Structure 1
Amino acid sequence: MGTLLLCIALIFEVTFAIYCIVTKKNYKKIKNWLRIAIFIAFAILTLSSVIMWSFRWVLLATLLFLLAATGTVALIRNKTKTQKYKTSSIVWKSIFMIVILVLALTPAIVFPQHPSPKVTGKYEVATAAYTYIDKKRVEEFSDKGQNRFVNVEFWYPKNAHGTYPLLVFSHGAYGIKASNTSTYTELASHGYVVVSIDHPYHSFYTASADGTKTFINTDYNREVSNINKEGIYTNEELYGLIQKWMKLRTDDMNFVIDTILKKAKSDNDSVYQKINTEKIGVFGHSMGGAASVWLGRVRNDIDAVVNIDAPFFSELLYKKDIDDFVASKKPYNIPLFNIYSDDVWKQLGSNSTYVANKLDNQNFKEAYTIHFQGAKHLSLTDLPLFSPLLANSLQGGKADINKYYCIETENELILKFFNYELKGIGHFAPKENY
């Protein structure tokens, strides 16, 4: 929609400028009436939901309103009669207007309006956001001595009776808690309470309940950016970084789960009262997936784990004598569902940080594993829907898989897995390739 409106606006501005130059007239009155009409048309399209109002349209709406207001004032004061025609003035004003239109429409182009993935459950979904303060931890990314805080958001069945399994999600290295909103919504619509965590300073940004915004830590950002560059870190240094990242992630997840379990017993908030504390699943994308697998290893109340495109960092050991990584020999007994894109699938046979993910690893012989052919790493999140340009830039190109097929099929499979493992519903037997 943003690109279409930009093309229409550019054609209008260029055509009108050429017409003015050819006829050697300003046509200010006509332009003012047109700008008023365009603002009215934009308002009608918004009110009729052809344009879905959101942050992406704020700049354009402001620009159109200012142009319409200026045009209205000019028509009332009848100033257009006093202005003389100048070709240079027409050209420069058109160039200026084109630049302003491009800037105003940039949010709608970078974050295009798009249909939401399908939601198939019977429950209406509500959301709630909270900030939890961990009084047992001091924030390592701040020198102010403040306690660690974690922002969470719940997706849960609205106006539903009974209790429902708790599912805890952890985002990727640069992600945010909303990274897989379509997944949370689909799960909640089928009777799950889903809580997604923002890991402050690991997430691109996070907003606390009081409105305070916290952005990604520059040192952490540099560390993650450098892991795929040869010669930056030794294997031993990389192993140390992995342990540090995973400690923060798993400490956050443990804190959130423990906080929720405590509130479910004492807090009358309807969100907590809908939670079945005896049924807990964890899942995550990329680094969040690695943390989820780790949590399944160390907690005894986790009943099912979904790993989305992540290495098994919890199963990774560094051997100094060979200066390489090897896989742990401990069996993994928690039900596990692995979902891989092409980006990770091609690394499963290597002796890298994915050495424990090898398909012949007998410690995971009961795990379910699937591969989305043609998918890239971010295809398994909502980002390609929310911002195709940003997703393609971050993952080095466009994926070869239909983005709606990928995310909707992923959501369907995750739902079936949790239904089978947490509710005893149906039978889970996914194909290897999709």
Structure 2
Amino acid sequence: MRPFEILLLAADLVAFVALLARRPAVVPAAPAAALAQLAVEGYRWQLVPAYGLAAALTVALAVELIAARTAAWAARRSRLPRRARAAGAALAALTLLAGAGLPIVLPVFRLPEPGGPYGIGTLVYHWTDDVRPEVFTAGRGDRREVMAQVWYPARPAPDAPRAPYLDEPESLTGGVSRVSGLPPFVFGHLRYVISHAVRGAPPLAGRYPVLVFLAGRMGVRQVNTFQVEELVSRGYVVAGIDQPYASAAVAFPDGRRALHDPRMDGRAFQDAHIPFLAGDVTLALDRLAAIDRADPRRLLTGHLDLARAGLFGHSLGAIVGARACLAEPRLRACLLEDAHVPPEVVRARPAVPTMWITRDAATMRLERARFGGWPEQAVLEHQATMRAAYAGLRAQGYFVEVPGMFHLDMTDGPLMSPLSGLIGLSGPIGVARAHEIVRAYSVAFFDRQLKGSAAPLPVFPEARVRSRDGRAG
């Protein structure tokens, strides 16, 4: 919990105990703490019981003061049944527990600390494709547009204000709401989550390899910030792409919003549009090259090394990414996380160094039992196509399998609640360990392929790792 949330709950507890002990002098601390929390950290519905208890304690204090000065009130109060007083105390105690429990269950979470030596800067861009018409809309003149967030190595600035995790909280809360079945307001507190990046920070001198990140269906560009920030802190520029109509929602600078297209939930429609979505990667690489020549923000010119470009994606982002890595010769390394591989990619036997990070079939079935999803046909396709693509790869390949890691453990999703494991969103190894493993293999893979590192891959007892040089078969 945040500092003023803790202060509010502590003040409620102290005031409650003081009132029971007939020591009302400290009761005003509760409403004062509530006002301070609202002013400094902002309202969140999870604290409504704590706000209500502070107000109720204030009313109780007023009654106590009146009773102390008025003989009739004092006499009446003394005749109150013990059961009534006990019931009031029990209700206040339950309210206090609710006030403490809800912010713990749905916290303003903290992202894991990046492990590299570099600070992190970030900028947001709006790109329009002059060539491709938008296929998801009926407007004759509509062109494909994407929103991109670029994270880059910056001078460390410990005291600089951090950028919010989400520029448009509704973009993620709508998607999370749809998956969970809970109303969007439940996740409104995500607007208070902050990242480790500084908006518009001065970039660190040098030229850095560039990575494109693609989120899964109904995701957003920030959904793998745990991984993005680690890579940037290790010396990479990462461009996260919001793909309209595949993402949860995309907010454009002029106020328009492109909501998730429910047709993307159908497999046939989705498969037919994978090549089009892969074209967003080409658009991103073109625009990033232009930024390196002359950044309209006057910050990143000369800092993007497009000769060392790679891609990573999760779920649908990995499916689209596999297709992009087949079609886009500028990509020199591809990291694909937990998704089946399109058949045309398997048949083509790509020559781009590729790493897969996934889990075994037994873990997928365990996830289905706890959370739903992953019908048996999908489990078999997932496992067979990844292994076939790995076996046919005509370049260096790595297959990292982590039993006990669930699908969302490869995203920020389980950070949203410590109960994620209990409700099936996080696997037996836990999100903290999953993030540690994913971050370590991501850095090691791109360091090998884009920086020429000869360091061995990390070793984790939970991970089964295979590698091949691509010359066999």
CA distance in 2, matches of 1:249, 1:56: 38
Partner of 1:232: none
Q: CA, structure 1 residues 115+430, in 2 after alignment: closer, same or farther (shift >3 Å)?
A: same
Match of 2:181 in 1: none
1:404 aligns with 2:432: yes
CA distance in 1, matches of 2:338, 2:401: 9
Aligned partner (choices 133, 150, 154) of residue 154 of structure 1: 150
| Residue correspondence of structure 1 range 270-349 to structure 2 within 5 A | 270-313=299-342, 315=344, 327-328=346-347, 330-342=348-360
Q: 1:189 maps to what in 2?
A: 233
Match in the other structure for 2:464:
433
Root mean square deviation of aligned Cα? 4.6
Aligned residue pair count: 389
SS at match of 1:333: coil
Matched AA of 2:222:
A
- Check if 1:169 corresponds to 2:213: yes
Alignment of 1:103-182 (within 5 A): 106=102, 108-145=103-140, 146-158=142-154, 159-182=203-226
Q: Tell me if the contact between 2:341 and 2:389 (Cα under 8 Å) persists in the aligned partners.
A: no
Summarize deviations over 1:74-119 as a string: whole Å, max 9, x none. Answer: 969x87879886888997998699789959974x345324443232
**What secondary structure does 1:60 align onto?**
helix
Partner of 1:369: 399
Distance 1:165 1:348, change over 3 A: farther
1:413 and 1:112 mapped to 2: Cα distance? 28
Assess, with a 3 A threshold, how the Cα gap between structure 1 residues 344 and 182 changes in structure 2: closer, same or farther: farther
Residues 246 and 190 of structure 1, relative CA distance in 2, 3 Å threshold: same
* Distance in 2 (alpha carbons) for counterparts of 1:349 and 1:207: 32
Percent of counterpart pairs with the same letter? 24
Counterpart CA distance in 2 for 1:46 and 1:7 is 13
After TM superposition, give the deviation of residue 156 of structure 1 in Å.
0.7
Stretches of structure 1 lacking an aligned partner (at least 5 in a row):
21-26, 48-52, 224-237, 317-326
Could you tell me which of 416, 422, 430 is aligned with 2:444? 416
Whether the aligned pair in 1 keeps the contact of 2:221 and 2:241 (CA below 8 Å) is yes
- What is the DSSP-based 3-state SS (H/G/I as helix, E as strand, rest coil) of the residue aligned with 1:243? helix
TM-score (norm 2): 0.67
Q: Is 1:387 matched with 2:413?
A: no
Change (3 A) 1:430 1:408: closer
SS in 1 for 2:219: coil
Q: 1:64 aligns with which of 51, 54, 59?
A: 51
C-alpha separation between the residues in 2 aligned to 1:273 and 1:105? 49
Q: What is the DSSP-based 3-state SS (H/G/I as helix, E as strand, rest coil) of the residue aligned with 1:153?
A: strand
Structure 2 residue aligned with 1:37, among 26, 29, 36? 29
- What whole-Å deviation, never above 9, does each CA across 1:280-333 have from its counterpart, x for those lacking one? 0001011111211211111111110001111111536xxxxxxxxxx51x3321
Shift of 1:192: 0.8
Give the superposition deviation at 1:8: 8.0
Q: CA deviation at 1:397?
A: 5.2
What is the aligned partner in structure 2 of residue 267 from structure 1?
295
With normalisation by structure 1, the TM-score equals 0.72
Cα deviation for residue 41 of structure 1 reads: 4.5
Deviations 1:222-277 (A, max 9, x none): x2xxxxxxxxxxxxxx4x43432413421222212222212322335313532112
Per-residue CA shift, 1:16-74, capped at 9, x if unaligned?
99x69xxxxxx9x94x963x313445678899xxxxx86784763897399569949x9
